[in-house]
Amino acid sequence: MRRRRIVLALLCVAPVLPAAAQSRPELIKNGDFAQGLEDWTANGHVDAAHDRDYDPKNHSPAATFATFNRGDTTPNAVLSQAVETEPKADYLLTFSFAAYDASGGSHQILDVTIVSNGEVLAGKTIGPVGGSRDLSKIFRRYQVPFTAYGPSVTITFTDRSADTKSVDGLLTEVSVKRR
């Protein structure tokens, strides 16, 4: 009888995982671009593509991505999404970026900004990133930590590449989670 009470008492006071150990919800919608550019605001020459559109043999870790200035178009691609945040909370933006270079020797540059109420909370320039044709090897993971000041932030990716001849910037696996 005493053993049964101890077991019941232990079950009643089972430890609760701290908030940091619990899974944080994803704030970005369609960060893998599996639904094309749905949930994103796109301006300029930006589109969504599948890795088989580029190379049917060498697949990327992420099968779908946003493409910046595909087809040798003017480098003016801008892609953004607003997400709800909690003021004074810390967040982490993560994403994968690559340069698909069909001819060799070209580079891509991507500016990342996080804005709330007109104020830039964080920014990062990625590149120049050299590329290749092998989608299975070109993606690199990046992260940008930030603290939210208001109820929402806008994450913006802007292509700053000088050259788009036979080279495209590829973005995928975009994620924002509270830290």
Closest CA to 47 of 150, 170, 136, 141: 170
CA 143 – CA 174 distance, rounded (Å): 10
Plot region of 178 (φ>0 → left; ψ -120 to 50 → alpha; else → beta): beta
| In-domain check, residue 38 | yes
The answer to the question of residue 9 being in a domain is no
Neighbours of 7 (CB within 10 A): 9
- 73 lies in a domain? yes
Q: Is residue 76 part of a domain?
A: yes
Q: How far is CA 115 from the centre of its chain?
A: 15
Instruction: Give the pTM.
Output: 0.83
Residuewise pLDDT in 10s, the chain (179 residues)? 555 444 434 334 334 434 453 588 999 999 999 999 999 999 999 999 987 777 766 666 668 999 998 877 888 999 999 999 999 999 999 999 988 877 777 788 999 999 998 999 999 999 888 877 777 788 899 999 999 999 999 999 999 988 777 788 899 999 999 99
Asked whether residue 53 is domain-assigned, the answer is: yes
Nearest alpha-carbon partner for 167 in 108, 94, 85 = 108
The answer to whether position 106 is within a domain reads: yes
The CATH number linked to 155 is: 2.60.120.260
What's the total number of domains in the chain? 1
- Is position 89 within any domain? yes
Residue 3 lies in a domain: no
Could you tell me the residue range of the domain that residue 102 belongs to? 22-178
